[in-house]
Structure 1
Amino acid sequence: MERSVLTVGGSDSGGGAGIQADLKTFAALGVHGLSVIAAVTAQNTLGVRRVFPVPAEMIAAQLDAVAEDFDISWAKTGMLFSPEAIYLVAERLRALHCSVVVDPVIAAEAGGSLIADGAIPALVEELIPVASVVTPNIFEAEAITGVRICDMESARDAALRIVEMGARAVVVTGGHLECRAAGLQADECVDLLVTEDESACISGRRRSGGNHGVGCTYSAALTAYLSMGMNLQEAARHAHEFAAQSIEMSRPVGHGAAPVDQAACLRGDAERFRVISSLDHAVSMLKEELTFVGLIPEVGSNIGMAIPGARSEGDVAAVEGRIVRAGRRAHVSGCIRFGASRHIARIVLTAMRFDPGIRAAMNIRLGEDLLSEASRMGLRVSSFDRGEEPPGESTMSWGTARAIERLGAVPDIIWDAGGVGKEPMIRILGRDAVSVATVAIMLSRAVGKR
């Protein structure tokens, strides 16, 4: 029987934090999540409107139900709200003999208290001593310890006090720490991992985006990775990156703090696989089509495709080394990988600014025969003049934008007559690599019949 991971916490009716965030995180990381709801909140992205504590007997019944049927290796706690709930959950978790991550939830990211008056002493006396790891942000660490956190040293002092309370380890999460700590880069986010014997900084690039539910997401990810057998520092690094990705892909679904997106990593991997598959199919089509070799320019051809929402050249895959002539056939001189072609990436990224659905492009030779056939096929054609390019601009970014602005829409074909040391060229744009390759093959067959 496979082991399961348990979360005990509050329900967020807005779906961004609490039990909902925990279960989404567990699912994204491939562990089976169990849940015990200790409180129900009337909550959205603007804040918490009301909290209803679940009666102790119902919390106990839920704990009994999951303990009876599942092998629970790790559990995490979130919003428990009342002292009664904290005492009960701590007692039952001790009886389960499972490892526990305690997320000492005190306030919602969107605003509003999530703990009753008098509950913090219960947290300190009963729940923290059960914890394998406690994951406070700086405000929670201050509330628990009374230590004013203004830099990494004071964060370490607060963490050590929590260790003295009985926790085996503490991770002070750094979402707010860099705002106070001197010496940290503005774009750096640092978590501080502390045990009785050592401490370690876990840093990463600060991501822009909404952060509603990020604390729950981090602690749930840490719990999931620990349940997989990772050591604490390894699990903390993975959880840090998982939470950062979820912030970067947060969704502005409400009018307040945007909830983080725990499934972003799954969709990102899936989209990259789909891009590679489309390009692989497109390249095979071009290699098998004998007429296509006549469309390859002297500098070679390339074809690329971006993931949805691409933001950088690393989000656009293309053929490494280009597609070149080899006798009567097209030859691919490298593999397909992301970041392989700056030239194609700039075309695609610029086109996506005007129409996010246009995610693929390729270059072929310029010829009046090809432009004539493109018009006959009903393709939208536009162009740019390299002589008009402003100083310091990227030709492909500027030229693509110029051609789009001239037409008033993203064209199917963008051409230019070249310049000094620059070969005349046609670029075919489309929604995916296969559709772009299909247009290229249709053009090659049409001019081949002339």
Structure 2
Amino acid sequence: MNILTVGGFDPTGGAGIVADVKTIKELQNNPLSIITSIIPQNNNKVFLKKDLSKEEIKAQFDAIFEDFNVNWVKTGVLTTDSIDILLEFKKKYEFNIICDPVLKSTTDFEFSDDFLNKKYFEFFKECFLITPNLKEFEIIKKMFETSKSNLNDINVLVTGKTDVLKIDNKNIEITGKYVEKEVHGTGCTYSSAITCFLSNGMTVKDSIVSAKEFVLGSVIYAKKTKFGYNSNPTSIDKESVEKNLAYAFNLIKNIDISLADPDFIISESILLPETYFDIATVKNNGDINFGISNTNSDLLLKLKEFNPKIRSCISLKSDESINSKLENSELSICPMKLLNDPISSLKEVSLQNNFGTVFYETYPDILYFEEKKPILIILGDNSLEIVKKLEKIEKLIKNR
């Protein structure tokens, strides 16, 4: 499905057109893009906003619509010229518009003025859905109150920790899992994801719920910069978990994992798992199942509190010779005290070994539990990362 995004160019790729394109591609659609403005910015500030001319914007529209069928358009930063062109092309090609009204940046840069707001007012009436945050919604609400128009005639999603969908004269609250983390570009990612799910035939509410889950991954795996984080569009669902485990299982079969229990289990979860049914395991026979209670599942349910990136693990047998090899390797290993209370042990050890307790940044590669039969538990973002660490351990063991 072709999805067209129209908006500003952020050279850092954290927001704007680049974030839209990454989102659309990640969700298995074909991204098309039109730039309205050049907006050098980062997590610290917006440097300037240089609007393209009407001729330059129109040429981009002509190039795309001459060659592609477009049914869904997502907009970000707009100009008066781009709104005029959008409405002209909508009349001719009858596409649906999802508008993320970028009126003001989180660093307080003004992207709109009174004249452009008046243009937006007419534009909103032609949109299938608009997705303002709470501050933007207050501005939009005043526009409609001033003109004595009915805002209920437009589908509106007011975004925040709890979103409110205003549709068919109803207010529908939409909640989801939430991570406290300020990330640049989540609004762009969110509205682009909603557009993708709508293009697949999902209802408005279901599209929002799915997009909210998608944004969660983009926040958890956000890229660190000097001043903050850039959204990193990341799609994780049960289907992707199963695919990872199936691929990991085939790779593990070619690794000498004599340390592993013959009935080894490698596990991987969806984002922020809440129950065993959010975690899948693959046994040595290749069967993949969600909802199995085991040591791996217990650990993943608990370790998400330490770092939500930890979504996969595998257990191995160990001995002193292996531990000494690991201690001198590039893999970080943490001795643990309590298998049933990994968070307390991990926080204590992380302070001693300077791993840091800052969420989202880092975590140990391996946990070493000092049981009667020592256990190594390899941690990873996903099961394919576990395989890479297994390959490193295999080389260490062969070189001993």
TM-score w.r.t. the length of structure 2 is: 0.72
3-state SS in 2 of match to 1:50: coil
Q: Tell me, yes or no, if structure 1 residue 342 matches structure 2 residue 295.
A: yes
3-state SS in 2 of match to 1:72: coil
Letter paired with 1:101: I
3-state SS in 1 of match to 2:46: strand
The correspondence of residues 3-402 of structure 1 with structure 2, limited to 5 A, is 3-81=1-79, 83-125=80-122, 127-146=123-142, 161-164=150-153, 167=154, 169-173=155-159, 175=160, 189-256=161-228, 258-262=229-233, 264-265=234-235, 273-279=243-249, 282=252, 302-304=264-266, 318=281, 340-342=293-295, 346=299, 360-363=314-317, 375=321, 379=325, 394=340
Contact 1:380 1:413 in 2 (8 A): no
3-state SS in 2 of match to 1:105: coil
Aligned length: 368
Contact 2:2 2:31 in 1 (8 A): yes
Structure 1 residue 266: deviation in Å?
5.4
Structure 1 residue ranges without an equivalent (≥5): 149-153, 155-159, 176-188, 321-330, 365-370, 419-423, 444-450
The answer for the alignment partner of 2:358 in structure 1 is none
Structure 1 residue 311: deviation in Å?
9.4
C-alpha spacing 1:26/1:49, structure 2 compared with 1 (3 Å): same
The answer for the alignment partner of 1:183 in structure 2 is none
Which shifted more, 135-144 or 268-277?
268-277
- Give distance in 2, aligned partners of 1:344 and 1:334: 16
Contact 1:78 1:105 in 2 (8 A): yes
3-state SS in 2 of match to 1:193: strand
Q: CA RMSD in A?
A: 4.8
Which shifted more, 306-315 or 334-343?
306-315
Structure 2 residue ranges without an equivalent (≥5): 328-332, 356-363, 380-385
C-alpha spacing 1:335/1:104, structure 2 compared with 1 (3 Å): closer
- Give distance in 2, aligned partners of 1:379 and 1:138: 54
Give structure 1 regions of 4+ aligned residues with deviation exceeding 3 angstroms. Answer: 196-199, 266-287, 300-320, 331-340, 343-350, 374-386, 393-416, 428-439
Contact 1:109 1:213 in 2 (8 A): no
Contact 1:380 1:411 in 2 (8 A): no
Structure 1 residue 211: deviation in Å?
2.7
The CA deviation string for residues 294-315 of structure 1, in whole angstroms up to 9 with x for no partner, is x97xxx9654466899999979
Identity %: 22
Contact 2:241 2:280 in 1 (8 A): no
C-alpha spacing 1:437/1:428, structure 2 compared with 1 (3 Å): farther
Contact 2:162 2:175 in 1 (8 A): yes
3-state SS in 1 of match to 2:179: coil
Contact 1:318 1:341 in 2 (8 A): no
3-state SS in 2 of match to 1:362: strand
- Give distance in 2, aligned partners of 1:383 and 1:102: 48
Letter paired with 1:425: K
Contact 1:304 1:362 in 2 (8 A): no
Contact 1:208 1:248 in 2 (8 A): no
C-alpha spacing 1:425/1:302, structure 2 compared with 1 (3 Å): farther
The CA deviation string for residues 179-199 of structure 1, in whole angstroms up to 9 with x for no partner, is xxxxxxxxxx22111224433
